Amino acid sequence: ISVPGADTRDMQEKQLLNQMADKEQRPLPGRINYAGNLSQSERKLQEAICVLLVELCERFTFFGIVCNMILFCTAKLGYCNYQAAIVNMCFVGISMLTPVLVGWLAECFVGRIKLVCICMFLHFLGTALLPVVAFPFEDIYIDKRHILHTLTQREQKIVFYFALLTASLGIGGIRAIVCPLSAYNLEDCGLKELLSFFNWFYWLVNLNSAVVFVSISYIQQSVARNLGFLIPFVSMLMSMITIHMVRGEMIYKPKTDSSLLTTFGVIASALKACCVRYHYFSGGMTNWLDHAKENYGGQYSETQVESTKSLARLFPLFAFQILYRTCIIQIPSGYYLQTMNSNLHFSGFVLPVAAMNVISIVPLLILVPILECINLCLFSSKDTGQSLTVYIVVGQLSAALSVMVAGFSEIHRKHFPQLEQTLSEEVLLVSSMPCFHLAPQYILLGVAEALVTPSCSLLSFWLVPERIRGISMHFLTLFNGAGCFMGLCLVLQGKLILLQMSALSGNWFPHLLHEGKLERFFFFLASLMMVNTLGFWTIAHRYVNGSNLCHQEWEGSRVSGIVS
């Protein structure tokens, strides 16, 4: 039985309760409620810090594996110099390419959370197996007569390669899923803010690598060389703990409106249409990629094709990075061999070979704050685009000069008498030239890294629409990895060519560096790099105009957002 007016009273009571609740939630006069904003900002800050910590831990393990790999391969596994250099370049190149592969798997086949767990396990397995290869099992005894376990050299190589492969796959998962640049929330940043981010990001990464090259290289070479590969394992544990602290919030989920497969699909569809219907080319088309549009018989939307067109404009920029990356890869390969075959004694102390890499890092650590002051004080946002291309040209020129100086340093090194030097309990016949004579080539490559890498990353990120910025960075990574493999091909091809020539020609990477012609390799690479620099200089104006156009569009969108 309904009582007359009961429904009306119930409605009035509910309205009164709602008003009282609103008054309780409303802040008192004179006070501002920052709780919601503070918690959100704190959460974003926590995520950014955790992502950065994982990034630094991953780079710590990577540099820890790379820093003395050539010495380990030659002294422990009995490899020749060129074989050790090839193994090193292969690992670096694969570690650059696996993020693209893992990103593709995450998009198409495996969930991101499941895949990152698999990659973490692979990285853990790889860094755990490396000490098995490095540890001297012949020194462990059950008693005075029996050895606990011994690995043959063939077994050591199998375990070593398997560990490198699993570690590189794990590195790809961490870089692609846990630590992509999109996880740092850079969507609302302008050109100058992005330049500051990339400068300081690579500054931190190189500071981390400097710590690795000084500490791990000395441990591996002198104090407890068999514990050297345990440090990447410990660093991996730190990464796992960091990921465990912020499990769900840390794994970045990209937007699904564009993917790497879509980009390749647009290019493949346009190429197929150009090959089949080239004589029916429509006059309304301004670009060959327009063949992939639905309006012209393709299967992709206007937005997808236009995004791919903006990405295709960056391909020349990416292509000119291949030779530059080949020069940079000389630090852990060609330059490392030069240093290893020089006199490392300094005031009664034997310097670690990889510690010379710090000389290439110091210019970057010094130049980044200086460049930041120049960008903030002298350049406006409109001028930043032009300054980026100038930085790349000057940096590539510095890389070419570095390799050229390395060639003259190699000639200079051979004029010194030889002496015996002990590295990792192996006696090597090396030049008596002090290793510090090689400092200029390291410094020039450090200057090149400070100028080129942040600038090229910024152009790759800024000159494409927001939805495909992650894909643009993937392509930059692909071309950087191609630079590592190009260096590998130059070593192999140069070896084959010189073997076919007379015996007086020598070899680029012989087992005894004093008998080889490594300077010819450096001069050849320097000449290629000079041509590469001139080639980029001729097309640099495209990216200046594109940068200014993108900045105007960003300013317009920001103003419209403020007005709305």
Query: Per-block average pLDDT, block size 10, for the chain (564 residues)?
Result: 47 49 41 45 73 81 83 83 86 90 78 80 85 59 49 84 91 80 71 86 88 73 56 70 60 64 83 66 65 79 85 92 93 88 84 84 92 78 75 96 95 90 80 92 95 92 84 89 87 57 53 80 94 94 68 50 46
| Cα separation, 399 vs 525, whole angstroms | 10
What's residue 141's pLDDT? Answer: 39
DSSP structure class, residue 174: I
Burial (CB count <10 Å: 0-12, 13-18, 19+), residue 555: middle
| Cα separation, 455 vs 49, whole angstroms | 23
Enter the tokens of residue 289: 């990629």
Identify the CA nearest to 534 among candidates 323, 382, 405, 393.
Answer: 393
Enter the tokens of residue 233: 């394992």
Q: In the CATH scheme, what is the homologous superfamily, with its name and number, of domain 42-136+152-251?
A: MFS general substrate transporter like domains (1.20.1250.20)
In sequence order, what are the residues at sequence separation of 6 or more whose Cβ sits closer than 8 angstroms to the Cβ of residue 369?
none
Identify the CA nearest to 296 among candidates 306, 304, 307, 284.
Answer: 284
| Residue ranges of domains in the chain | 42-136+152-251, 260-275+287-300, 312-563
| Cα separation, 28 vs 163, whole angstroms | 62
- In terms of pTM, does the model score above 0.85? no
What's residue 306's pLDDT? Answer: 85
What's residue 336's pLDDT? Answer: 87
Identify the CA nearest to 465 among candidates 564, 548, 553.
Answer: 553
Identify the CA nearest to 469 among candidates 545, 550, 544.
Answer: 550
Q: In the CATH scheme, what is the homologous superfamily, with its name and number, of domain 312-563?
A: MFS general substrate transporter like domains (1.20.1250.20)
What's residue 407's pLDDT? Answer: 94
Angle at which helix 518-563 crosses helix 315-328, to 10 degrees, equals 140
Burial (CB count <10 Å: 0-12, 13-18, 19+), residue 515: exposed
Is residue 121 classed as helix, strand or coil in its secondary structure?
Answer: helix
What's residue 499's pLDDT? Answer: 46
Identify the CA nearest to 358 among candidates 208, 162, 172.
Answer: 208
Whether the domain at 42-136+152-251 and the domain at 312-563 fall into the same CATH topology = yes
Q: Which helix (H) or strand (E) holds 90?
A: helix 81-108
What's residue 194's pLDDT? Answer: 86
Angle at which helix 469-500 crosses helix 518-563, to 10 degrees, equals 170
| Cα separation, 449 vs 205, whole angstroms | 12
| Cα separation, 27 vs 507, whole angstroms | 79
DSSP structure class, residue 86: H
Residues 295, 302 contacting (CB under 8 angstroms): yes
In sequence order, what are the residues at sequence separation of 6 or more whose Cβ sits closer than 8 angstroms to the Cβ of residue 44?
185
Phi, psi of 321 (to 5 degrees): -85, -15
What's residue 65's pLDDT? Answer: 85
Enter the tokens of residue 558: 């920001």
